[in-house]
Homo-oligomer: A and B are copies of this chain.
Amino acid sequence: MNYQAPLRDMQFVLYELLQGDQILPALPGYEDATREIMDAMLNEGAKLAENVMAPLNESGDREGCQYDPDSKTVTTPSGFKEAYRQFAENGWTALSSPVEYGGQGLPHTLNTLAEEMVCSANLSLGMYPGLTHGAINALTSYGSDEQKEAYLPKLISGEWTGTMCLTEPHCGTDLGLIRTKAEPNTDGSYAISGTKIWITGGEHDLVDNIVHLVLAKLPDAPSGSKGISLFLVPKILQDGSRNPAFCGGLEHKMGIKGSATCVMNFEQAQGWLIGEPHKGLQAMFVMMNSARLMVGLQGLGVAEAAYQTSLQFAKERRQSRSLAGPQEPDQAADNILVHPDVRRMVLRQKATIEGSRALAYFTAMQLDIAHKAESVEEREQADDMVQLLTPVVKAYLTDEGFFCANDGLQLMGGNGYTQDWPVEQLVRDARITRIYEGTNGIQALDLVGRKLGMHGGRAIKRLFAMLDQYIQQNADAPHVAAVKASAAQLQKATMWLMQNGMQDREQAGAVATPYLRLMALIMLAYFWSRMAATAQQALNDGSTETDFYQAKLFSADFFFAKLLPQTHSLMADIESGKDSLMSMTAEMM
């Protein structure tokens, strides 16, 4: 795959739109995150993604991971081990991890940009260090000092990788149902027994040791989700012996075939409690929240890769004549980009990707502010945004990532459907992102059921305040009237939810998915207006990058003309509530 990191657009969003080069180095602890440092990192990351990871994407899909039932080991596709080693040695696993355990202590935002490139280049390969992040975050927040010292340095350096072991064969979403047991040993450790499925990187040959974070129930556990505890279960124990945490097989999946998705059998494996007994769900949410943002980035990354591939194809392909008459009369046919319907697919990808990029990077920067800002108020405000927008980023960017990959396939016609081109793989790879780390339906329930109501609706009020402030202070910005009108729709939908969803939670559940989508579109409208204003300013200031900035203005026009109007259907869907969903009995289906 011929991927080129979209550095110019990444820089536009990070610096010109979001002022990351001013805001980030002003945060205590992030003083090093100057524009020079960030640019240097991004350039290095781009090279690694383009030259080391992308070339292994197709071969990784064709080869897949291999399981040997005798040794219970997993072999990753050729080249993955070396590429992972380069990734770790160049410091990418350590980028935003704490300095005291060997991390570089750079902003999470920078890691987000790196993630996007990795996910564009090779989603399967990116999963191994990606999941390790969740383990690092949970250990950092809840591990004992002893645990941190024993495990964090090697996880951060990439010498070891980590997993999150949640799902069991009979339960995915509803973790209260898990059956994996943790029985106390005499030495303070626990014997963990049970089967976990869908364990990314549960077993592989990239590194020597794998640190499993496992949800299990203590003997005295209350039933349901309040009885779950989190355990640390290393593959290799500190004395060098093999812990009986074995891979029982690999899932055969539609895509991400280079990522080892394991069934893991814990056969009285030795584990240590992380945090308090029965409080595992909290720690799990720490892992999940950063993972959810990451999965949103996966959607964005795959969409970008599909966009680049299909656009390159479109620029070379000639079929038929322009409806306005021949544009290149000396050629046998015009280039397909003369056709409005082809442009519709190209621009839908472009406007969605660039708008999503702004939303994702904004959320990542809020995460950095939430961690590092000096004042409590700033931290709280930023954390509210992160809480509110995390499910939106996860669900919208993965749904749209899949649709963009499909747009890319569609505009390549039959070519897109063959394995001669990378797009059909991107479609298959992207498909899982709408499901794992909580299906997109669960994200929507998280938004309307938990995030809207948090602290008396504080987060959503702050979101509206941000939109209002923008609208009032930028009355002349491009498309600001449309932002205002669509923000009013979101306000109306939120009111509807308050009035109906509070008394009747099924009403909230019934409209969760269109409500999340509505919020995503309004956020994109806000950012597209801001991006157009930024671009217009640059042109007014005499920038010589006229194509780049003019494209932003045109993409904004496309977004407001062709994509934002989805809000009208979403409003009708929301306002019709639950009735048409709940009347039918299962027997009638």
Contacts and interface: CB of A to CB of B under 8 A. Distances in A.
Nearest to A554: B584
Interface in A402-460: 406, 409-410, 413-414, 416-420, 424, 427-428, 431-432, 434-436, 439-441, 444-445
Nearest to A173: B319
Nearest to A432: B417
A568 B564 CA distance: 12
A195 to B, nearest CB: 15
Contacts of A512: 340-341
A299 to B, nearest CB: 14
Of A254, A504, A555, A572, chain B has the most CB atoms within 10 Å of the CB of: A254
A142 interface: no
A416 B440 CA distance: 14
Contact of A557 (B436, B566, B580): B580
Interface string A544-560: 00011011001101101
Contacts of A350: 589
Of A197, A424, A588, chain B has the most CB atoms within 10 Å of the CB of: A588
A324 B505 contact: yes
Nearest to A198: B414
Interface in A531-589: 547-548, 550-551, 554-555, 557-558, 560-562, 565-569, 572-573, 576, 578-589
A347 B584 contact: yes
Q: What 10 A-B pairs come out closest when comparing CB atoms?
A: A565-B572, A551-B588, A568-B568, A340-B510, A323-B505, A561-B576, A561-B580, A254-B424, A174-B319, A340-B509
Contacts of A424: 253-254, 431
B569 A581 contact: no
Nearest to A255: B417
A409 B427 contact: no
Main secondary structure of the interface of A (DSSP, over half): helix
B566 A554 contact: no
A90 interface: no
Contacts of A420: 252
Nearest to A424: B254
Interface stretch (A29-37, A79-87, A329-337, A382-390): A329-337
A254 B581 contact: no
Contact of A580 (B324, B562, B576): B562
Nearest to A511: B340
Contact of A417 (B345, B419, B435, B505): B435
Of A339, A340, A444, chain B has the most CB atoms within 10 Å of the CB of: A340
22 contacts: A171-B333, A174-B320, A176-B333, A177-B332, A253-B417, A255-B417, A339-B509, A340-B581, A341-B444, A345-B441, A410-B439, A413-B435, A417-B432, A424-B431, A547-B587, A554-B583, A554-B584, A557-B579, A561-B579, A562-B580, A565-B568, A568-B572
Contacts of A581: 340, 343-344, 347, 558, 562
A255 B255 CA distance: 13
B554 A565 contact: no
A458 B203 CA distance: 66
A267 interface: no
A205 interface: no
Nearest to A546: B588
Contacts of A428: 254, 428
Q: For chain A, give the interface size range.
A: 35 or more
Contacts of A547: 585, 587-588
Contacts of A311: 589
A407 to B, nearest CB: 11
A172 interface: yes
A342 interface: yes
Contact of A561 (B567, B568, B573): B573
Contact of A551 (B444, B509, B589): B589
Contacts of A427: 254, 431
A545 B505 CA distance: 32
Contacts of A445: 341
A183 interface: no
A177 B318 CA distance: 10
Interface string A472-486: 000000000000000
A570 to B, nearest CB: 8
B254 A417 contact: yes
